[in-house]
Amino acid sequence: MKMMKRWLSCALALVMLLGLVGCGGGTDEGAASDSGSESTGDEIVINYPTFQVGTNTAAPVVAELVNRFNEEYAGQYRIEIEEVPGDANYAERIQVQISSGQLPPVVYGGGYALLDLALEADLVVDLTDVVNADPEWAAMYDNDAWQAANCRDGKIYASSSEGQLIGYFYNKELFDQVGIQPATTWEEFFDNCDKLLAAGITPLAMDTADGAWVSMLLMGAMVATSGDEGLEFMNTKYPTDYNIEPVVNAVAEMQKWYQNYTTLDAVGGAYENAANNFFSGNVAMICNGPWMIGDFSDTSKTPEGFDQNVGVATYPGGFVYDAPIEGMFVTKQDDPALEEAAIAMVKFFTSPEAQTLALEMQGMVPAAASVEITDTATTNFPLLGEFLNMASECTVRSNTFTGNMVPGLQDLFSAELPNLANGTYTPEQFCQILTDFATENAVA
C-alpha cells in the first residue's frame, strides 16, 4: 500500500503541475484547448505529442510520415508534432491526461497499457466499423497477436505498426578476445560472462530507469525459458502473482548482474546509458530489438565501422520476444471532424506502406504478418536479415515482462530496482512488492 500511495502522490503532483501550465480545465472549451488541436479555416490541425523525436531511433520515420501525411491531406488535415523527450515522461503525461479526461486526438499506446487506462475512462473511439469497411486494414487483424494488442471484447480500438521481435546484440571483437560464441544455454551464457569478466571486459549493458528496458529483456527471457509455468506467466495479460519460482529465480539472477556483470552507471541509468556503453565498446552485450540496428552505422553515435563489429543472437533455450506493440488509438473529442482527422492519421501511420517505410528506414519489424520483409530492408540492414533467420527457428516466444504489467507497475518496477541491485531487498521481497501493487490494481 505504501508503494501505491507513493505512485498516486506522484501522479497527483503531475496533475497539479500540468494544471499550472494549461492542461487543466473542466469546460468543453478547455478540453479543446488541452488537445492542442484546432481548425484553421477549413484545415484541421492535429496536435500529436510524442517521444519519438530527437535521438530516438524512430524519430526519422515519424518525421517522414508526418511530412507525407501533411502533403497528402494539405488544406484538410495537418499534424503538428509536440516533442515530449523520454518515453517515461510521455507515458506519465498521458496517464495524467487520462485521469483528467483530456487527451490529444491520437495516442501511441506503446508498452505502457495506455489503451486499457483510456478505455476504463471511456475516452477511446471504437474503430471496428471504419476498420471493417477497409478490406486492407481489416486484413491485418487476422493475426492473433495483432488482435491481442489492439482489440478488447471483440471490438477494435487501436492499430499497430511495429512488431516486437527481440534478441540481443554482441561485440564480435570482444567475444573473439576471449574465444566465445553466443550461448545456447543459460549455463553457457553466464560462463561467457565470467570469461569476459576475467579478461577485464564488462559483460552486460543494463539500466534501471525509464522501465529498465534493457535489463528487463534479459530477465524476462530467463522467466520464459524456465519451463511451462514461466512461459505461461510471460504470456498472461496483467498477472497479479510475481512471487512464483520462475520470476523469483530470474530476479535473483538479475540482482547478481547488477552487482557483478555491468557498469557502475547501470543503477540509476536509463536506456541511453546502456546504449552508449555498448556503442563505445565498454560492454560486450545489449538486449534490444532490430530497430537499434540503424544506430550501429550512425557515426554521430558510434565510431566509424562499428556496425561491422556487431553480431546478433537469440536468447538461450530457443527464445525470442514476439509480440506487436500496442498501437495508436483515437480519443473522443467534442468535434466529430477532429475524430475523423485522427482516424485518418492512425490509418496512415499504421498502413502497410508505413510499416514498410519503418522497415526500410529503421529496420523495424512490421506488426502485420502480411507486410513482407523487402530486399531493400535486408540490403540496408544485413544484420536484420541474419536475425530474422535466427528468429524463425525459435520455438519459445512471448510478450515482454513489462508488456503485460498492470498500469503503473512498470514505473514501480523501475523505481525499486536500485533497492534490489544494492541488496536492500531480497528477490522475494522485490517480487512481493510487485505482487502487492498488481493485486491492488488488478485489471478485470
Q: What is the pLDDT of residue 196?
A: 98
Residue 349 near residue 277, CB atoms below 8 Å: no
My answer on whether 279 and 158 are in the same domain is no
How many whole angstroms separate alpha carbon 113 and alpha carbon 262? Answer: 29
- Considering the domain architecture, whether residues 402 and 370 belong to the same structural domain is answered as no
Q: Which three cell numbers stand for residue 287?
A: 538486449
257 and 342 in a common domain: no
Cβ-count burial 13-27 (b if 16+ within 10 Å, e if not): ebbeebeeeebbeee
Q: What is the mean pLDDT of each run of 10 residues along the chain (444 residues)?
A: 38 40 32 46 92 89 97 98 90 93 95 88 97 93 83 94 93 98 98 98 96 96 98 95 98 98 97 96 96 92 95 98 90 97 98 95 88 92 94 94 89 96 98 98 84
Q: What is the CATH number of the domain that holds 357?
A: 3.40.190.10
In sequence order, what are the residues at sequence separation of 6 or more whose Cβ sits closer than 8 angstroms to the Cβ of residue 257?
A: 204, 206, 215, 218
User: What pLDDT does residue 12 have?
Assistant: 40
Same domain, 330 and 424: no
Give alpha helix (H) positions in 152-289.
172-178, 186-198, 213-224, 228-234, 245-260, 271-279
Are 374 and 402 in the same domain?
A: no
Domains of the chain: total: 2
Report the run of H or E that residue 377 belongs to, with start and end: helix 375-380
Q: Locate 20 and state its grid cell.
A: 499550472
Same domain, 181 and 142: no
User: Rounded CA gap, 355 and 374, in Å?
Assistant: 11
Closest C-alpha among 68, 167, 152, 86 to residue 327:
152
What is the grid cell recorded at 396?
Answer: 519459445
**Is 141 in the same domain as 239?**
no
Give the pLDDT of residue 390: 95
Cell numbers placing 225: 525459458
- The whole-angstrom distance between residue 302's C-alpha and the CA centroid of its chain comes to 23
Q: DSSP readout, 341-355?
A: HHHHHHHHHTSHHHH
Read off the pTM. 0.82
Q: What is the pLDDT of residue 261?
A: 98
Picking from 154, 113, 140, the residue whose alpha carbon sits closest to that of residue 350 is 140
Closest CA to 70 of 379, 345, 293: 345
Q: What is the pLDDT of residue 87?
A: 82
Q: CA-to-CA distance for 384 and 381, rounded, in angstroms?
A: 5
Q: Are residues 120 and 73 in the same domain?
A: yes
The C-alpha cell at 188 is: 553457457
Q: What is the pLDDT of residue 142?
A: 83
135, part of any domain = yes
CB 416 within 8 A of CB 402: no
Q: What is the pLDDT of residue 146?
A: 80
For residue 237, being part of any structural domain is answered with yes
Domain-located, residue 353:
yes
Distance of CA 285 to the CA centre of its chain: 19
Domain membership flag for residue 329: yes
Could you tell me the end-to-end alpha-carbon distance of the chain, in angstroms, rounded to an integer?
Answer: 20
Task: Tell whether 417 is covered by a domain.
Answer: yes
- CA–CA distance, 187 with 167 (Å, rounded to integer): 18
DSSP-derived pairing of the beta strands 396-398 and 319-322: parallel
> Is 24 within the bounds of a domain?
no
Q: What is the pLDDT at residue 360?
A: 94
pLDDT at 41: 61
491485418: which residue's cell? 140
Full domain range(s) for residue 277? 165-322+395-440
Determine, yes or no, domain membership for 306: yes
What is the reported pLDDT for 112?
Answer: 80
pLDDT at 40: 54
In a domain, 23, yes or no: no
Beta bridge partners of 79: 46
Query: Residue ranges of the alpha helices (H) in 59-154?
Result: 59-72, 87-100, 114-120, 128-132, 135-139, 144-150
Is the CA virtual torsion 142, 148, 152, 157 positive or negative? negative
Contact predicate 258/266, CB 8 Å: yes
Task: Tell me, yes or no, whether 331 and 371 share the same domain.
Answer: yes
Using alpha carbons, list the distances in angstroms from residue 112 to 35, 85, 152, 185, 196: 20, 16, 16, 31, 35
> Cα-flanking dihedrals φ and ψ of residue 102, to 5°?
-130, 105
Examine the domain organization and report whether 262 and 220 are in the same domain: yes
- Provide the pLDDT for residue 38: 53
Contact 212, 414 (CB under 8 A): yes
The owner of cell 510499416 is 355
CA dist., res. 213 & res. 274, Å (int): 10
The grid coordinates listed for 77 are 488535415
Same domain, 118 and 195: no
Q: In this structure, are residues 388 and 298 in contact, taking their beta carbons and an 8 Å threshold?
A: no
How far CA 45 is from CA of 65, 331, 412, 423, in Å, comes to 15, 15, 36, 51
Using an 8 Å Cβ cutoff, are 252 and 258 in contact? no
Do 103 and 143 lie in one domain? The reply is: yes
